[in-house]
Amino acid sequence: MKANYKNALLITITLFAVWLNDIQAQQYQPLPDSTATWLVQESSSEYTIYHSWYLSDFQNDTIINSNVYTKLFYSLYGANSMEYTGAFRSLTNGKSYFVPSGEQQEVLLQDLTKQKGDTVHNVAVYNLQYLGAFDFIIDSVNYFPCGPYSLKTITLHSIETIPLIYGTSLHWVEKIGNISGGILNQPEMGLNIFSLICQSTLDTTFFNANAGYFPQSLVYYPGKCDEFLSIDKSKADEPFLVYPNPFSSQLNIRSENNYQEIQIEIYDLIGSLLVTEKVHNFSSPYLIRTLPNLKPGIYFLIISNKNKQLWKQIITKM
């Protein structure tokens, strides 16, 4: 009888331990493997250039050493050409791997299972071209809300000398990649700053650095990254003028064109919809009438019809 009791107790403790381990287990959100775009801004005191990493669809998958990878392409804004830059595979255990173009040996892209103080070996480093794989050490680990997700973020720095780069640091974000350069490990560096300004997949925007600074700029809402390229165009080419910006109590929208069936929405930084108006016959200037008492900060204004969607960053005054 005592033996049966001990066995039952042992089984109970074992099941409880398994259940507890399951509760504490991190359910990692892997990087997207199709129809995704990472829009990157490269800037210095002399120039600003936009380029993007993107995936098209599952037809571009490739097999390397018996593993299935998704091809990754590079395109410079304004150019019609695209360049194959390598392939990656993202696992549900928090690890992602990369095979550079022209090579067969994979290197590490991310390892979200690591904790503060851990060393991460053979991390791919990219600076418009593949520089090699190097060792890094984890500085910090955090979690930030992003729509329905709680995304794990890791900050790390190199413990090896990397050619052409000094003081190298990376910032990994679950489901997003590296905030200094998109899906690939583009480090923060010197006077030439690379920064991920938008990442979207399946018509959902997960990141928009134009909204402010990380991590406050983690967002989650419908939309694509291409519209953010309008910041590189003349304001005269924009279909709508939004003013004043920053604003305090009212916001006006002006356009030289006539539109029918316009939808106006305002989101906060975490993707919550705060304002929505449908305008059947748009007349300029249009005053947003349902504007609530928004707290001072940064918001997104979306103006859309069945053919086009325009994104604007708006700021409320103190």
Burial 175-205 (b: 16+ CB within 10 A, else e): bbbbbbbbbbbbbbbeeeebbbbbbbbeebb
What is the predicted pLDDT for the residue at 15?
45
What is the predicted pLDDT for the residue at 293?
76
CA distance 187 to 195: 9
CA distance 252 to 236: 17
Closest CA to 109 of 126, 84, 92: 126
Residue 69 burial by Cβ neighbours in a 10 Å radius (0-12, 13-18, 19+):
buried
What is the predicted pLDDT for the residue at 229?
35
Q: Which fold, 233-316?
A: Immunoglobulin-like (2.60.40)
- In the sheet with 241-243, reading across from the earlier edge strand, the strands are 241-243, 252-254, 286-287
3-state secondary structure the chain: CHHHHHHHHHHHHHHHHHHHHHHHCCCCCCCCCCCEEEEEEEECCCCEEEEEEECCCHHHEEEECCEEEEEEEEEECCCCCCEEEEEEEECCCCEEEEEECCCCCCEEEEECCCCCCCEEEEEEEECCCEEEEEEEEEEEEEEEEECCEEEEEEEEEECCCECCECCCEEEEECCCEECCCECCCCCECCCCEEEEEEEEECCEEEECHHHCCCCCCEEEEECCCHHHHHHHCCHHHCCCEEECCCECCCCEEECCCCCEEEEEEEECCCCCEEEEEEEEECCCCEECCCCCCCCCEEEEEEEECCCCEEEEEEEECC
Please report, for the chain, the start and end positions of each structural domain, with discontinuous segments joined by +: 36-225, 233-316
Q: Under 8 Å CB-to-CB from 93, ≥6 apart: which residues?
A: 28, 113
Instruction: Determine phi and psi for 271, rounding to 5 degrees.
Output: 90, 10
What is the predicted pLDDT for the residue at 237?
43
The token pair that represents 181 in the structure block:
């350069």
Q: pLDDT by residue for the chain (318 residues), tens digit each?
A: 455 555 554 444 444 444 444 434 578 999 988 888 898 887 776 667 778 888 866 656 889 999 999 999 888 765 556 788 999 999 999 999 999 998 999 999 999 999 999 999 999 998 878 899 999 999 999 998 888 888 999 999 999 888 877 667 899 999 999 988 889 998 876 667 788 888 888 778 888 775 556 766 788 887 777 543 333 333 334 567 777 777 777 788 877 677 778 888 887 766 678 888 888 877 767 788 667 778 877 777 888 776 666 777 777 765
What is the predicted pLDDT for the residue at 228?
38
Q: Which is it for the CA torsion 138, 158, 177, 43, positive or negative?
A: positive
